[in-house]
Amino acid sequence: MSTVTVRYFAGARAASGVDTESRDAASLDELVGQIVADHGERLERVLTACSFLIDGTTTRDRSHALSPGAVVDVLPPFAGG
C-alpha cells in the first residue's frame, strides 16, 4: 500500500465534499474504489467523466500503480472559453 494525497477539483470537489484527503492505495483503480465507497454515487457519476493527474502526468489508466507520496488530482472536464 502507498499513502497518496487526493485533491478534488470543481464538480469532483462538490461531489466528494472535501478538497483534499489522504488514502492508502496501490493503484488508481483501488483508490477510485475507496473514494466511491466512502463518498457515494454522486462522486461515482462525476468520476466517469474525470481524468486523473498523478504527480503531474495525465492518465485514465485505472491500473496505473501509485507510488508512496504520490499526488492524485481528480479533474472533471472544464468548460470555458
Tell me which of 5 and 2 has the higher pLDDT: 5
> What gap in Å lies between CA 27 and CA 16, rounded to an integer?
19
What is the pLDDT confidence band of residue 77, given thresholds at 50, 70 and 90?
confident
Question: CA distances (Å), 55 to each of 15, 29, 46, in order?
Answer: 22, 16, 21
Strands (E), the chain: 3-8, 20-24, 51-54, 57-59, 71-75
Average pLDDT over residues 55-61: 92
C-alpha cell at 81: 472559453
At 12-43, the pLDDT tens digits run 999 999 999 999 999 999 999 999 999 999 99
Q: Is the pLDDT of residue 79 over 60?
A: no
C-alpha cell at 24: 492508502
Fold type of domain 3-75: Ubiquitin-like (UB roll) (3.10.20)
